[in-house]
Amino acid sequence: MGDLISSHKTESAAMKKAKKELTFKHTEKEKKSTGLYIWLDDQNHAPVGVIFQKKTDKKGV
């Protein structure tokens, strides 16, 4: 299993950090019941990282 590089509140902040830390050419989003996965792949479509955003329950006011 890989190491946690950083933690972010927004998808755009996570992508910005990933661009600085990892070399990847392709991304693929996958929605599951647990949250959103963004797979980061190299030029040969081999996985080099993943961004995971937990699904949160929004309780309205």
Q: 3-state class of 8 per DSSP?
A: coil
Q: How many helices (H) and strands (E) are present in the chain, helices listed first?
A: 1, 3
Model pLDDT, residue 2:
66
Torsion of CA 41, 47, 51, 56, to 10 degrees: 120
Instruction: Examine the pLDDT at 59 and tell me if it is beyond 70.
Output: no
Model pLDDT, residue 54:
84
User: Is the pTM here over 0.85, yes or no?
Assistant: no
Distances (CA, A) of 21 to 4, 15, 17, 49, 55: 11, 10, 6, 10, 25
Q: What is the pLDDT of residues 16-48, one digit of tens each?
A: 999 999 999 999 999 999 889 999 999 999 999
